């Protein structure tokens, strides 16, 4: 009728949906929420189940118009088709399903080296791919500097859960491999599954243990430092891991003095007694290798305790001979000059100019210094010995100044130094433990020679001894001009210079 209002109501049809729709790909260990949503129904009721009636493996929460199924974390048991059923008013019913597909590829590969890398020795590379699923799609490549070393796939693997897969490869490690990269590439190419990444890569640089090698000693400021100045010796070597450094010094009596275990040996104020042969020994504890370097240090010092003497006396008659001696001690080298200044009296005598000049080093540093040479080694009773016998090793050499001799037995862990009596070494009641290499080091301030003796102690019927001379023999010759100069060199560094008058001038009154 006219004037009456008409209100039209529009009712929505009962509908439902699952979010996400149809299909979802999720990684094992993550959280997944499935939502069943409705429209056109004021009071819907919800039901969740798997199509094969397996346990849901999640938690259901119902709200006014929607319901959720939460799986936290997702496990292998959640790989199903999930069905959501909605009832509206007890009459209408709708349902939809969603497929949950799972994978696991959470981390990059891990590369391990089975043993410490040493050049010339075998090594094994291990590549581990953690928590993979499904592993029957896994492909692994091991590469070195872009070149494939090894390839493996797991297509026949029947694992039903996440597993860590391992690929190993062994090769002979060389010095050329140092610094190169080993790369492990793992791929999980599953068709029709949208996830990233499907490829994971890890690289490892090959860092080998080696050395020590190329060991040298540097001296600052020089090999001839001046007494009183600082002196620094630095031992430089190539080693991985860093080598342990031990400093030693040869003493005049043949003993060896031990110093600090550091690559730098510092002497704040050098003295003449600091002169000598210094040894730097470097040890790589991992590779069990040792190398040595030596340097001869001579400390330059000014003359000390200088005296002047006249023989037979300071008063002489014309025609008599006079010897004037100048002595300076405790120095390695000295230059002695005797002068008379014209017009000045010298002990009531007037002479013309006298000049006496000697330049020398303590016999080991001057014209007549000779390093050890013409070395002869005798082994008694024979070159091969039986158990229970005594072995006598006698060494003779020519050198100037006289040489010191040290006999060492080379041992894997330490050096065994054997005593000597005038160059003779005796091994008493030898056993098979005395078999091995013996280093005979013959040295003086000028140089040294080393011989290696290999002694084999066997039964009553077998002998073996091998002798090797490492240092070459040297020719040493000196031409000495005939001059009116007397040179006397003392091992105790006491140096004398003298001038003799054949005829003395008349004494002026």
pLDDT band (50, 70, 90) for residue 414: low
Asked if residue 7 belongs to a domain, the reply is no
Instruction: Provide the β-strand partners of residue 75.
Output: none
Residues 265 and 310 in one domain: no
Task: Establish how many alpha carbons lie within 13 A of residue 36's alpha carbon, considering only the half-sphere containing its beta carbon.
Answer: 26
Indicate if the pLDDT at residue 64 is higher than 80.
Answer: yes
Number of other residues whose CB lies within 10 A of the CB of residue 386: 15
Does residue 43 sit in the same domain as residue 20?
yes
Given a contact cutoff of 8 angstroms between Cβ atoms, the answer to whether 305 and 494 are in contact is: no
Is residue 499 very low, low, confident or very high in pLDDT (cuts 50, 70, 90)?
A: very low
Residue of 98, 102, 101, 103 whose CA lies nearest to 20: 98
**pLDDT tens-digit series, residues 255-291:** 888 887 889 999 999 998 888 999 999 999 888 889 9
pLDDT of residue 26: 96
> Is position 6 within any domain?
no
- Residues 493, 360: one domain? yes
pLDDT over threshold 90, residue 251: no
Segment of 171-185, 320-334, 471-485 carrying the highest mean pLDDT: 171-185
At which of 103, 124, 141 does a domain end?
103
**114 and 200: one domain?**
yes
pLDDT winner (highest mean) among 91-95, 117-121, 149-153, 447-451: 149-153
Stretch 333-341: mean pLDDT, rounded? 63
Residues 159 and 228 both lie in one domain: no
Question: What CATH number corresponds to the domain at position 175?
Answer: 2.60.40.10
On average, the pLDDT of the chain sits at 80
Task: Band the pLDDT of 474: cuts 50, 70, 90.
Answer: very low
Residue 416 pLDDT: 76
Share of the chain above pLDDT 70, in %: 78
- List the one residue out of 361, 360, 346 whose CA is nearest residue 501: 346
Would 1 be classed as within a structural domain? no
Per the structure, the count of domains in the chain is 5
pLDDT winner (highest mean) among 97-101, 219-223, 307-311, 371-375: 97-101
Full domain range(s) for residue 154: 110-205
Each residue of 116-137: pLDDT tens digit? 787 788 889 999 999 999 999 9
247, 249, 251, 248: which is closest to 404 by C-alpha? 251
Same domain, yes or no: 117 and 197? yes
Q: What is the mean pLDDT of residues 425-438?
A: 87
pLDDT in tens, 87-98: 998 778 999 999
Tell me if 452 is assigned to some domain. yes
- Amino acid 11: pLDDT: 58
Instruction: Write down the pLDDT at residue 480.
Output: 34
Whole-angstrom Cα distance, residue 339 to residue 344?
11
Which residues are within 8 A (CB) of 313 and not within 5 positions of it... i.e. 6 or more apart? none
Higher local confidence (pLDDT), 114 or 228: 228
Q: Find out whether the peptide bond into 212 is cis, omega within 30 degrees of 0.
A: yes
Task: Tell me the pLDDT band of 363, cut-offs 50, 70 and 90.
Answer: very low
Cβ pair 437, 448 in contact under 8 A: no
């Amino acid at each position: 009728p006219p004037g009456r209002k008409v209100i039209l109501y529009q009712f929505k049809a009962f509908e439902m949906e699952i979010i996400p729709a149809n299909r979802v790909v999720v990684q094992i260990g993550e959280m997944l929420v499935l939502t069943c949503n409705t429209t056109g129904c004021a009071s819907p009721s919800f039901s969740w189940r798997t199509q094969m009636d397996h346990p849901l493996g999640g938690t259901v929460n119902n709200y006014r118009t929607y319901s959720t199924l939460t799986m936290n974390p997702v496990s292998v048991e959640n790989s199903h088709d999930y069905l959501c059923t909605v009832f509206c008013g007890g009459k209408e019913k709708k349902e939809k399903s969603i497929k949950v597909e799972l994978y696991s590829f959470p981390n990059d590969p891990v590369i391990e080296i089975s043993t410490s890398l040493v050049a010339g020795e075998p090594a094994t590379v291990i590549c581990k791919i953690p928590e993979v699923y499904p592993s029957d799609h896994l492909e692994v490549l091991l590469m070195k500097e872009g070149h494939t070393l090894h390839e493996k796939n797991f297509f026949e693997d029947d694992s039903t859960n996440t597993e860590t897969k391992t690929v190993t490869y062994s090769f002979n490690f060389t010095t050329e491999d140092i610094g190169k990269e080993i790369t492990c590439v793992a791929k999980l190419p599953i068709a029709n599954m949208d996830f990233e990444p499907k490829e994971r890569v890890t690289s490892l640089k090959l860092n080998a243990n080696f050395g020590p090698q190329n060991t040298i000693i540097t001296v600052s400021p020089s090999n001839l430092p001046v007494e009183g100045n600082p002196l620094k010796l630095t031992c430089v070597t190539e080693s991985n891991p860093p080598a342990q450094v031990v400093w030693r010094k040869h003493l005049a009596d043949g003993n060896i003095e031990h110093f600090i275990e550091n690559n730098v040996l510092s002497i704040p104020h050098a003295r003449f007694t600091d002169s000598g042969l210094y040894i730097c020994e470097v040890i790589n504890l991992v590779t069990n290798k040792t190398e040595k370097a030596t340097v001869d240090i001579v400390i330059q010092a000014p003359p000390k305790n200088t005296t002047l003497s006249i023989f037979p006396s300071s008063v002489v008659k014309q025609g008599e001979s006079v010897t004037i001696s100048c002595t300076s001690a405790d120095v390695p080298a000295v230059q002695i000059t005797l002068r008379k200044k014209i017009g000045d009296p010298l002990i009531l005598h007037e002479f013309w100019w006298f000049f006496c000049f000697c330049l020398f080093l303590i016999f080991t540093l001057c014209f007549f210094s000779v390093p050890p040479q013409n070395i002869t080694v005798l082994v008694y009773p024979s070159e091969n010995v039986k158990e229970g016998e005594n072995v006598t090793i006698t060494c003779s050499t020519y050198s100037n100044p006289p040489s010191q001799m040290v006999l060492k037995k080379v041992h894997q862990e330490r050096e065994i130094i054997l005593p000597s009596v005038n160059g003779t070494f005796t091994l008493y009641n030898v056993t098979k433990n005395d078999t091995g290499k013996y280093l005979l080091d013959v040295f003086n301030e000028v140089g040294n020679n080393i011989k290696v003796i290999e002694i084999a102690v066997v039964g009553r019927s077998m002998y073996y001894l091998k002798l090797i001379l490492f240092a070459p023999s040297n020719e040493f010759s000196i031409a000495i001009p005939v001059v009116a100069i007397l040179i006397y060199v003392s091992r105790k560094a006491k140096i004398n210079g003298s001038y003799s008058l054949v005829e003395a001038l008349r004494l002026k009154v």
